[in-house]
């Protein structure tokens, strides 16, 4: 086997494992929290959901650029292998967290997921760089498109397998990672070899420290905006949140000053002078902002509203939510490799731009659906979203990675993935803020009216209407009825028919459905605007650009060792 295919198959295994892990956890969170015996209506419990959801991304956002530079210095294959080893250890630790341990168990999950993110960070920054090192310029788009297939297949596998395993034991969700991680470890040890020259440079410690502090503070600020503060359902007015943002921005400014003056910087800021690199990363940022939280809100829509309305028990909803998301992933499977192959021939700009436009149109179509939608319409829209994502991802990655020299590839990919993860964190904060704010305005009156119509006594209906919107949304996602938040003495005094109505699978979905759709629609309008702006930046990437020290066009017009970049075969 040619070495380039060895690299591709190994990185595909890493992508498969990472995507299984990401999607299997997302879709099985209800089962995990029920297994830990978490009460979503208790004060402060929403924090645990936030950290299990966002802790992984916060760690990745903090470490990726640093890990990219470490890999450039100590060897990409070596650090890639360490990524598999760390990921294996973390998966084993996650699989032995005891059931029924409540907040203690949730805290252990959060910590071990962060350890897992460290392993995932080494894998992510190096996989794309290894592919770019191993494949010639005219095959990189195709190789990255094929690698994207592994990620999408892992997503399919994670969604379906997660729903299936959730019906048995939530620990299996983490055990399933272990065989892939072990296989990847041994394969990379015995089959991969260093192709890129190690960089003989000093570590930029102050650059690392200031960037890490900046990203941690900004990520924490956005995370805790989703926590209630005082009389507000959101935390935007919290002095801790405001301080985190201010200090994060200050440290980011200090980082930029350091990088402009230090002899061997953590990240080469001059890369942003390269047009495809800058505009490619800007469009990636906007894509992440637009799609990040919206897709999670769609899963809440399925698991907390649509599926219970159609007779699915809450133990079944993780599996069926995964099934209902398959058309989107199918669209990505089909059009990801097509986008990559076309990029090799025609350049990235037209396909990345088209992908963002298609995504914007499909997201807008989602806002036209009611909360109890027609299934065929929903699945068609999800497929179109997948088509847009598939056309965008590989061309965008190819344009960014072709724009940098081999010595900067791991750190450049680290910057690319940092932008992607920061976008996901910001997206979650913005869109959840919108959804919960609108939820908070509309939900109390809807809950009061619905409970009274079901025959619930006025005082009890008033108690139900005062449950925080975030807790109610959390509870709907986990499949926990708000009746469990009521004291037992109140339940015993409630009419039997009223109690039966509250405990039915249709009561909560019908109460929260209209408010949820209003919040989701406003979130999607913003996502559409971001996607259109991302299309504009994709269009501004310019002509095809290749930064390759030993690049030779197919017509052999140029000699070897041409310095700098190449546009359309010309230096």
pLDDT of residue 551: 39
Coil vs helix vs strand at 286: helix
Give me the pLDDT at residue 85, please.
93
**Which among 92, 97, 87, 90 is positioned nearest to 17, based on CA atoms?**
87
The answer to whether the beta carbons of residues 159 and 27 sit under 8 Å apart is yes
Query: Chunked in runs of 10, what are the mean pLDDT values of the chain (571 residues)?
Result: 81 80 74 78 70 77 78 84 92 89 87 89 82 79 75 72 73 85 87 70 78 83 76 79 91 88 77 86 88 78 86 76 83 82 82 92 92 93 91 85 75 77 78 78 83 84 78 70 69 79 80 84 90 92 59 38 41 38
- Contacts for 541-544: CB closer than 8 Å, 24+ residues apart: 541/275, 541/276, 541/279, 541/280, 541/283, 541/348, 541/349, 541/352, 541/399, 542/275, 542/276, 542/279, 542/349, 542/567, 543/347, 543/349, 543/567, 543/568, 544/346, 544/347, 544/348, 544/349, 544/402, 544/568
* H/E stretch holding 567: strand 565-567
Cross-strand partners of 546: 566
What is the rounded radius of gyration, in angstroms, for the C-alpha atoms of the chain? 24
Structure tokens at 162: 């997660």
pLDDT of residue 459: 83
Q: Determine the Cα–Cα distance for residues 413 and 280; give it in Å rounded to an integer.
A: 12
pLDDT score, position 479? 66
Pair of tokens at residue 446: 């809807």
pLDDT of residue 545: 57
Q: Is 3 helix (H, G, I), strand (E, B) or coil?
A: helix
Tell me the HSE value of 20 on the side-chain side, using a 13 A CA sphere. 25
DSSP-based three-state secondary structure for 474: helix
Query: DSSP labels for 72-114?
Result: HHH-HHHHHHHHHHHHHHHHHHHHTPPTT-HHHHHHHHHHHHH
pLDDT at 71: 82
Q: What is the DSSP-derived secondary structure letter of residue 565?
A: E
Distance CA 394, CA 199 (A): 27
Distance CA 134, CA 196 (A): 9
Task: Give the sign of the dihedral formed by CA 184, CA 186, CA 192, CA 193.
Answer: positive
pLDDT of residue 57: 75
CA distances from residue 157 to 19, 116, 162, 319, 404 in whole angstroms, order as listed: 9, 19, 8, 11, 33
- The pTM of this model reads 0.75
Distance between start and end Cα atoms, the chain: 33
Matching residue, tokens 């392993």: 119
Within 13 Å and on the Cβ side, how many CA atoms surround 126?
A: 34
Q: CB–CB of 347/396 below 8 Å?
A: no
Copy the structure tokens of residue 184.
């990847």
Please state the φ and ψ torsions of residue 545, each to the nearest 5 degrees: -130, 135
Please tell me the predicted confidence (pLDDT) of residue 375: 92
At residue 201, the pLDDT reads 67
Burial of 559 (0-12, 13-18, 19+ CB in 10 A): exposed
Q: How far apart are CA 498 and CA 399, in angstroms?
A: 60
Q: Report angle CA 124, 184, 153 to the nearest 5 degrees.
A: 65
* Whether the Cβ atoms of residue 252 and residue 214 lie closer than 8 Å to each other: yes
pLDDT of residue 379: 94
Contact 396, 284 (CB under 8 A): yes
């Amino acid at each position: 086997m040619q070495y380039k295919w060895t690299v591709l198959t190994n990185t595909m295994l890493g992508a498969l494992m990472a995507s299984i892990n990401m999607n299997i956890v997302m879709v099985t969170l209800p089962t995990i929290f029920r297994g830990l015996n978490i009460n979503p209506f208790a004060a402060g419990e929403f924090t645990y959901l936030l950290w299990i959801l966002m802790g992984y991304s916060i760690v990745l956002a903090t470490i990726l650029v640093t890990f990219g530079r470490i890999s450039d210095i100590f060897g990409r294959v070596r650090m890639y292998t360490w990524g598999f080893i760390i990921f294996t250890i973390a998966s084993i630790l996650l699989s032995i967290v005891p059931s029924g341990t409540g907040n203690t168990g949730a805290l252990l999950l959060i910590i071990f997921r962060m350890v897992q993110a460290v392993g995932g960070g080494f894998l992510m920054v190096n996989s794309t760089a290894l592919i770019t090192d191993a494949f010639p310029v005219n095959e990189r788009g195709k190789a990255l498109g094929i690698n994207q297939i592994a990620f999408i297949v892992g997503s399919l596998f994670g969604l379906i397998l997660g729903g299936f395993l959730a019906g048995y034991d939530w620990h299996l969700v983490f055990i399933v990672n272990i065989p892939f991680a072990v296989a990847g470890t041994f394969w990379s040890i015995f089959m991969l070899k260093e192709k890129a020259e190690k960089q003989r440079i000093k570590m930029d410690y102050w650059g690392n420290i200031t960037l890490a502090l900046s990203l941690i503070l900004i990520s924490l600020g956005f995370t805790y905006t989703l926590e209630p503060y005082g009389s507000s359902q959101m935390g935007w007015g919290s002095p801790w949140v405001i301080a985190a943002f201010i200090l994060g921005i200050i440290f980011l400014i200090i980082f930029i000053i350091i990088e402009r003056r230090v002899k061997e910087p953590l990240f080469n800021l001059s890369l942003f002078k390269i047009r495809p690199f800058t505009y490619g990363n800007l469009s990636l940022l906007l894509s992440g902002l637009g799609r990040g939280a919206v897709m999670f809100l769609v899963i809440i829509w399925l698991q907390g509203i649509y599926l219970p309305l159609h007779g699915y028990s809450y133990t079944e909803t993780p599996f069926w939510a995964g099934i209902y998301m398959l058309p989107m992933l199918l669209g990505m499977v089909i059009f990801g490799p097509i986008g990559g192959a076309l990029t090799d021939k025609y350049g990235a700009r037209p396909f990345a731009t088209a992908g963002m436009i298609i995504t914007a149109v499909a997201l807008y179509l989602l806002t036209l659906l009611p909360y109890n939608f027609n299934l065929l319409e929903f699945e068609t829209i999800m497929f179109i979203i997948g088509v847009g994502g598939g056309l965008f991802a590989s061309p965008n990655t190819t344009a960014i990675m072709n724009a940098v020299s081999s010595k900067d590839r791991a750190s450049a990919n680290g910057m690319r993935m940092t932008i992607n993860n920061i976008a996901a964190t910001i997206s979650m904060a913005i869109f959840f803020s919108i959804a919960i704010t609108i939820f908070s305005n509309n939900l109390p009156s809807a809950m009061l009216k619905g409970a009274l119509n079901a025959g619930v006594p006025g005082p009890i209906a008033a108690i139900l209407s005062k449950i925080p919107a975030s807790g109610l949304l959390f509870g709907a996602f986990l499949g926990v009825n708000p009746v469990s938040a009521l004291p037992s003495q109140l339940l015993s005094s409630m009419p039997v028919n009223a109690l039966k109505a509250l405990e039915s699978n249709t009561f909560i979905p019908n109460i929260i459905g209209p408010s949820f759709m209003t919040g989701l629609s406003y979130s999607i309008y913003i996502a559409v605007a971001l996607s259109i702006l991302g299309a504009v930046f994709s269009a501004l990437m310019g002509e095809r650009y290749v930064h390759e020290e030993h690049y030779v066009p197919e017509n052999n017009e140029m000699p070897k060792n041409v310095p700098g970049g190449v546009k359309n075969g010309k230096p």
